A and B are shown apart, each in its own frame.
Chain A
Amino acid sequence: MAHKSEELIIEALDIHKSFGDLEILKGISLQVRRGEVVVLIGASGSGKTTFIRCINLLEDIQGGRIRVNGRSMGYRERADGSLVRDSERNIARQRRDIGMVFQRFNLFPHMTALENIIEAPIQVLGVPRAEALEQARALLARVGLADKAMHYPSMLSGGQQQRVAIARALAMKPQAMLFDEPTSALDPETVGEVLQVMKQLADDGMTMVVVTHEMGFAREVADRVVVLDQGELIEQGPPEQIFSRPTHPRTQAFLSRVL
């Protein structure tokens, strides 16, 4: 597509992650170009959620490198090749470049939709309040919730909450957005409205990495589908190739179960 550039926004190289003795990620590498929409699929426990959580350092990694926008994320490499975690302040700074949308929305329950959205721009970026408010209203309109600005999260449906969460992440003007199963906790009738917002976002050229079980969304919106299985990246390619002519037997097995 025309707006895709060759510029790499996210580079994950040979990511290793273990919980105790259990190895969750066994050396996963992924490069995402500006404007690209990458959808991660795979069975539960394949490590896809853990992988995108590693990208913005919500999980420690035991090996590998992550670069966002050319800058190394969160870890400095010692002379012997081992990784040391960067300072908290630096990590917080690096996370601003990446928006994250969670399965359980994680809106701040003590703030209205509008307050949820202006919180980080004002507190983290130091945006003047009036400007943040204006931007927040525009974002709410963009996700179709202009009339819900003064509502608390508990007064909104799951789909509405998730759209506010998307607006909240966008308010930081991130270079890329990570979606961790954004529709898995939703009632079936509200899944569509969230996917619609995500599709709009993709059409606007946002760089996105999406973990989802919505194969329809992957087929329609993804530039590239990546299949994870047991902590390994087993296959990737354009959606029509993955869904129609999967080459790896484990991809075939997975797809035959979900499609």
Chain B
Amino acid sequence: MNFNWDVFWQYLLQPSGVYLTGLWLTCLISVLAMALGCVLGLAAALMRLSRNPLLNLPVRFYVWLMRGTPLLVQIVFLYTALAAGGIFRFEDVELLGLVVPGNIQAAIIALGLNEGAYMAEIIRAGIGAVDKGQYEAGRSLGMTFAKLMRRIVLPQAFRVIVPPLGNEFNVMLKNTTLVSVIGVQELLLSTQMVTSATFRVFELYLVVAIYFLLLTTLWGFFQRWLEARFGQSDRPAPPAAGSRMFGRGTLKLLRGR
């Protein structure tokens, strides 16, 4: 077998700068694309709830389109095809003294747009899981739709949304490898670059696989903690005075205080 343990251990334990940049980009793109996906998903889910076809038809179209085409095609289409067609070209922009390359912007937007469609369905299901009586109680207290959503429905929906949201982020971490096709130097492309110089393909792809396994495992721990904290049903928190199902910080965030 052509396997060099020295190379394997070296790249696994003492990754080069190229590798670390790749790792950093993978995390950054995942987090930003996920955040974009959540925002889009929430907006889409709320629009989808509307009885007005001008609001809910565009969302249905968006979800249909994003779920019906391969993510890889969407990425290439957004970055390469739109530019080639002379419609839109992602340019490098300077943000807070940092140059953000166009392909990274495209990567985040493409992954975020795709994620938004899935999140829309997840959030819609979460909202749908909130008891109808909660709406009536809020309405009878004089709440408008916006207030009702922000204060009553979404905090409850959140508990249903957390578990699938965790799975979505796991998928997102792995899907970032797809943006290597538009030249974003995340983990996979970094690995490819190193292999083309060292020809240690087996060792290096094994290392990259282990890296991803590490990322998703770490996330898994975090996800379990998240679910324990937020994904509860209406079961009471332990009856210690002032104990809460949500942390104070999160509650404030959810309530917009």
Contact = CB atoms under 8 A, between A and B. Distances in A.
Interface of A: 56, 58, 88-89, 92-93, 95-96, 98-100, 102, 104-110, 119-120, 123-125, 150-155, 165, 168-169, 172
Contacts of A123: 143, 147, 151
Contacts, number: 77
A104 B144 CA distance: 22
Interface stretch (B26-34, B73-81, B235-243): B235-243
Contact of B136 (A106, A110, A150, A151): A106
A120 to B, nearest CB: 4
Contact of B235 (A102, A124, A154): A154
Contacts of A105: 133
Interface in B142-182: 142-145, 147, 151-152, 155-156, 159
Interface of B: 131, 133-134, 136-137, 139-145, 147, 151-152, 155-156, 159, 234-237, 239, 241-242, 245-246
Nearest to A104: B133
Contacts of B134: 106, 108
A168 B136 contact: no
A102 B236 contact: no
Nearest to B142: A96
A102 B151 contact: no
Given A88-B145, A106-B136, A154-B236, 19 more contacts: A92-B139, A95-B139, A98-B140, A102-B140, A105-B133, A106-B131, A106-B137, A109-B156, A110-B155, A110-B156, A110-B245, A119-B141, A123-B143, A124-B142, A150-B242, A151-B239, A155-B239, A168-B141, A172-B142
B237 A92 contact: no
A46 to B, nearest CB: 21
B234 to A, nearest CB: 4
